[in-house]
Chains A and B, each alone.
Chain A
Amino acid sequence: MDLQTLQTLWFILIAVLFTGFFFLEGFDYGVGILLPFIAKEDRERRAVINTIGPFWDGNEVWLITAGGAMFAAFPHWYATLFSGFYLALILMLVALIIRGVAFEFRSKSENPSWRSMWDWAIFAGSAIPAILWGVAFANIIRGVPIDQNMNYTGGFFNLLNPYALICGLTSLCIFTLHGSVFLTLKTTDEIRDKAMKAAIKVWAPATLFSFAFVAYTFGETDLFARLGINPGIVPVFSVLALGSVIFLLRKNASGWAFIMTGTAIAFSTITIFLGLFPRVMVSSLNPEWNLTIYNASSSEYTLGIMSIVALIFVPLVLVYQAWTYWVFRQRVSKDSELEY
């Protein structure tokens, strides 16, 4: 394969990693966000946490891998993004740290205020990244001040523009919806009823913000100009999928509803990457200073090695992760044996 093909391949692979990450970690975030509201009694809360217990860590590795792949395949993308979005990413890291230990620490003491503290840590540690991912990707497609040396010249508050905040709220709502639908699949009785109610409640703002975001994207970015008048099946399908969720929920078809929230997340992520291609960071100062897959990538040799590794191991990962979902397919109730 020549260099250009490899660069495109790695752009696609990173898009796949982020899509997988948002699909999987999306419901983990959602479950974390709902935790303090949907379950009041301790065993109920533990049951809710245990629905994602065996999975959340493996799901988070999608992000670690996406980060590593970015570093290896597009070092300039990795360097510009992380040094540029500095404080936002520090905030994200703090949230992920607190959330990760919270799952493990929470039930290690009987003390109710200890448990409640970690429940709120799980909530914050899920809600903050859920918002920040939206903010980050909105800024990536909208463009940020990047100079001719590929360095971000703005500050933290440049990132908090209204457009990015709308996107942040959209991702927050969609992940919460995704998580509540996941809970209807994984729990029983009272918890399931509450999850169902939450899903129906969250659907409206999720859809509303999504539409606002799409409309805003039209004015704020060149995404539509790039995708053309007919943006293709992907974004349309994403919107349709989100719209269908409410009908499926009313029919109590949790499984289909989950497929549809997942489709909405996956297809909107893909839309963003389609709109970006072949750029990876858009400079709002000068289009010539954009980072693209061509000027930000590693060498042909490195991309070749990475491709071989990825083509062998990504399918393998998919197989054994799918297997864990099969092993732990049973619903969790407060009478189950609970680990976390």
Chain B
Amino acid sequence: MDALLLARLQFTLTSVFHFFFVPLTLGLSLFVAIMETAYVRTNNGMYKRLAKFWGNIFLINFAVGVVTGIVMEFQFGLNWSEYSRFVGDIFGVPLAIEALLAFFLESTFLGIWVFGWDKLPKKLHAASIWIVAVASNLSALWILIANSFMQHPVGYTMSENGVRAEMNDFGALLLNPYVWGQFPHVLSGGLTTGAFLIIAVSTYHVVRKTGPDPEPFRKSLKYGAIYGFVGTVLVTMAGHSQMQDILKHQPMKVAAAEALWESESPASLSLFTVGNEKKLEDVFSIRVPGLLSFLAFNKFEGEVKGIKELQAEYEETYGPGSYIPPIAISYWSFRLMVGAGTLMLAIAVLSLFYILRERYDFPGWISKLMLWSFLLPYLANSTGWILAEMGRQPWIVFGLLRTEDAVSPSVAVSSGEVLFSLLTFVLIYVFLTVVDIVLIRKYALAGLQPLESNERRI
């Protein structure tokens, strides 16, 4: 295998894996903060126990998120040195700011939160988890500012000799419309991920009637379901507006996600398509007429450009070559993401239907759905990122640099070295996932710990 493919596989593995853990950090930190605030306000020990319970799960998850994040930060230099040279002037800035502004806060105050239960006044202690929650989400913002430059480069000029892009407007980088389409989507995705883990774990305890007092997990379930409902509604709305945005900046991504070969006006939405990626045509397709135009422009008219026309346009702008991303991957990852989202919304509504009436005797199939629903956000998060990154191909920075020109040259990094590191990461990451799941499961099933004990042991 060649180094480019291996480097791409490694990026897929390390980024998708990293993003298994990040959204839960985003969503759960906020929930822990809310629980602890409830404790400070009401002085009810139950909320303290809940904050600690969810906090433990948060911490086990956070540890893996942190260490896999270090790999992300250094991977650009390791495998993508030409990319780093080309965009470092711009792309490095949000990464550095993320560390300085968000990551320092997050890790320092998390240390304070974990070790400071008896050493700080209650309010200050609660404030520290709020800082962690805000800083985590802030860190996501800076990473998305960096990613958005790859999706829709703004605020730059090409250097005189044309070998790199240079920043000329920091404000434009921050106000990149792509960021503000993407950030709400990722943020609400994080909320949703946290919410469905809360729903799943709480359902287990409510249905099995673990513990002497049903109250804490009923409360958790109620808040979790509300949180999940709000999260999924927001994530859907944000995703919808993001897609309209992408249509402006990267119409090819949308065309690929829809397997839309020819331009259509009004454009139909594919429900199920089996296509031929080489001949760029349908083998079999069920489509709803006009629906894609409606999703794109909020009305049943308007042209959505198809793959063939865009390819012709790009050839004219960028020269000969293929500008078509892997269509099957884009198409199916989009459908899995949207499908998972729809299912989550349904489950949130269904569970609220019972919970808001204080009824916790769910029919078996509903409680099963709620128990396993926590997997859905993971599916949606991963496929969402796969679409975002695959749908941009063959570009690594849209319109400026192709992925094949971004990889570290073989004189510096041989394909054998990349293969070795890829296999190493596969082994370690699989091992970490197993350990992480086992530990989270153990702590989740053990339930609340007594109030007297401050130690996080079971």
A interface residues (Cβ-Cβ under 8 A, vs B): 50, 53-55, 57-58, 60-61, 64-65, 67-76, 78-84, 86-87, 89-90, 93-94, 96-98, 100-101, 103-105, 107-109, 147, 149-153, 156, 298-299, 301-302, 305-306, 309-310, 313-314, 317, 320-321, 324, 327-328, 337-339
Give the shortest distance, in Å, between B7 (CB) and chain A (any CB).
Answer: 11
Given A152-B412, A302-B93, A90 and B78 touching (CB < 8 A)?
yes
Other A-B contacts than A80-B81, A321-B104, 4 sampled, CB-CB below 8 A, are A54-B112, A58-B111, A100-B66, A302-B90
B interface residues (Cβ-Cβ under 8 A, vs A): 59-60, 62-64, 66-68, 70-71, 73-74, 76-79, 81-82, 84-85, 87-93, 95-101, 103-105, 107-112, 114-116, 118-120, 159, 164, 166-168, 170, 408-409, 411-413, 417, 420-421, 424, 428, 432, 435, 439, 442-443, 454-458
Q: Please tell me if the beta carbons of B166 and A301 are within 8 angstroms of each other in the complex.
A: yes
Given A93-B70, A108-B60, A339-B456, A79 and B88 touching (CB < 8 A)?
yes
A106 to B34, CA, bound (A): 28
A149 to B410, CA, bound (A): 12
Q: Please tell me if the beta carbons of A83 and B412 are within 8 angstroms of each other in the complex.
A: yes
- List 15 contacting pairs A-B, 8 Å CB cutoff, sorted by A: A53-B114, A58-B104, A58-B108, A61-B99, A61-B103, A64-B99, A67-B77, A68-B96, A69-B99, A86-B412, A89-B74, A96-B70, A101-B64, A298-B167, A309-B100
Write out the residue numbers on chain A whose beta carbons fall within 8 Å of the beta carbon of B114.
53-54, 339
Q: Please tell me if the beta carbons of A309 and B97 are within 8 angstroms of each other in the complex.
A: yes
A75 to B89, CA, bound (A): 7
Nearest first, the 3 A-B pairs at minimum CB distance are A75-B88, A82-B77, A72-B92
Give the shortest distance, in Å, between A276 (CB) and chain B (any CB).
Answer: 18
Q: Please tell me if the beta carbons of A313 and B108 are within 8 angstroms of each other in the complex.
A: no
Write out the residue numbers on chain B whose beta carbons fall within 8 Å of the beta carbon of A298.
88-89, 92, 166-167
Q: Please tell me if the beta carbons of B107 and A58 are within 8 angstroms of each other in the complex.
A: yes
Give the shortest distance, in Å, between B430 (CB) and chain A (any CB).
Answer: 13
Given A53-B115, A58-B108, A305 and B84 touching (CB < 8 A)?
no
Given A80-B81, A82-B77, A105-B435, A320 and B108 touching (CB < 8 A)?
yes
Write out the residue numbers on chain A whose beta carbons fall within 8 Å of the beta carbon of B90.
302
A93 to B428, CA, bound (A): 11
Q: Please tell me if the beta carbons of A79 and B84 are within 8 angstroms of each other in the complex.
A: yes
Q: Please tell me if the beta carbons of A94 and B96 are within 8 angstroms of each other in the complex.
A: no
Q: Please tell me if the beta carbons of B77 and A299 are within 8 angstroms of each other in the complex.
A: no
Q: Please tell me if the beta carbons of A93 and B115 are within 8 angstroms of each other in the complex.
A: no
Write out the residue numbers on chain B whose beta carbons fall within 8 Å of the beta carbon of A86.
78, 408, 412-413, 417, 421
A300 to B44, CA, bound (A): 55
- Which residue of A57, A72, A93, A100 contacts B88 across the interface (Cβ within 8 Å)? A72
Given A61-B107, A71-B76, A327 and B112 touching (CB < 8 A)?
yes
Q: Please tell me if the beta carbons of A313 and B77 are within 8 angstroms of each other in the complex.
A: no
Which of B90, B99, B420, B458: most chain A Cβ within 10 A? B99
Q: Please tell me if the beta carbons of B100 and A65 are within 8 angstroms of each other in the complex.
A: yes
Q: Please tell me if the beta carbons of A93 and B71 are within 8 angstroms of each other in the complex.
A: yes
Write out the residue numbers on chain B whose beta carbons fall within 8 Å of the beta carbon of A72.
88-89, 92-93, 95-96
| Interface of chain B, main secondary structure | helix
Write out the residue numbers on chain A whose beta carbons fall within 8 Å of the beta carbon of B99.
61, 64-65, 67-69
A114 nearest CB neighbor, chain B only = B435
Write out the residue numbers on chain B whose beta carbons fall within 8 Å of the beta carbon of A320.
105, 108-109
Q: Please tell me if the beta carbons of B167 and A301 are within 8 angstroms of each other in the complex.
A: yes
Q: Please tell me if the beta carbons of B78 and A89 are within 8 angstroms of each other in the complex.
A: yes
Give the shortest distance, in Å, between A286 (CB) and chain B (any CB).
Answer: 15
Q: Please tell me if the beta carbons of B412 and A306 are within 8 angstroms of each other in the complex.
A: no
Write out the residue numbers on chain A whose beta carbons fall within 8 Å of the beta carbon of B78.
82-83, 86, 89-90
Write out the residue numbers on chain A whose beta carbons fall within 8 Å of the beta carbon of B159.
299
Q: Please tell me if the beta carbons of B77 and A337 are within 8 angstroms of each other in the complex.
A: no
Given A54-B111, A67-B74, A306 and B119 touching (CB < 8 A)?
no
Write out the residue numbers on chain A whose beta carbons fall within 8 Å of the beta carbon of B87.
75
Q: Please tell me if the beta carbons of A324 and B112 are within 8 angstroms of each other in the complex.
A: yes
Write out the residue numbers on chain A whose beta carbons fall within 8 Å of the beta carbon of B409.
83, 149, 151
- Which residue of B84, B112, B167, B455 contacts A78 across the interface (Cβ within 8 Å)? B84
- Which residue of A68, A149, A324 contacts B108 across the interface (Cβ within 8 Å)? A324
B435 nearest CB neighbor, chain A only = A105
Q: Please tell me if the beta carbons of B89 and A67 are within 8 angstroms of each other in the complex.
A: no
Give the shortest distance, in Å, between A223 (CB) and chain B (any CB).
Answer: 25
Q: Please tell me if the beta carbons of B119 and A327 are within 8 angstroms of each other in the complex.
A: yes
Write out the residue numbers on chain B whose beta carbons fall within 8 Å of the beta carbon of A156.
417
Give the shortest distance, in Å, between A153 (CB) and chain B (any CB).
Answer: 5
Given A107-B457, A313-B100, A317-B104, A79 and B77 touching (CB < 8 A)?
yes
Q: Please tell me if the beta carbons of B92 and A73 are within 8 angstroms of each other in the complex.
A: yes
Q: Please tell me if the beta carbons of A68 and B73 are within 8 angstroms of each other in the complex.
A: yes
Give the shortest distance, in Å, between A136 (CB) and chain B (any CB).
Answer: 13
Q: Please tell me if the beta carbons of A299 and B435 are within 8 angstroms of each other in the complex.
A: no
Give the shortest distance, in Å, between A200 (CB) and chain B (any CB).
Answer: 30
Give the shortest distance, in Å, between A134 (CB) and chain B (any CB).
Answer: 19
Give the shortest distance, in Å, between A23 (CB) and chain B (any CB).
Answer: 16
Write out the residue numbers on chain B whose beta carbons fall within 8 Å of the beta carbon of A107.
456-457
Write out the residue numbers on chain B whose beta carbons fall within 8 Å of the beta carbon of A57.
66, 107-108, 110-111
Q: Please tell me if the beta carbons of A317 and B100 are within 8 angstroms of each other in the complex.
A: yes
A16 to B286, CA, bound (A): 61
A327 to B118, CA, bound (A): 11
A156 to B416, CA, bound (A): 12
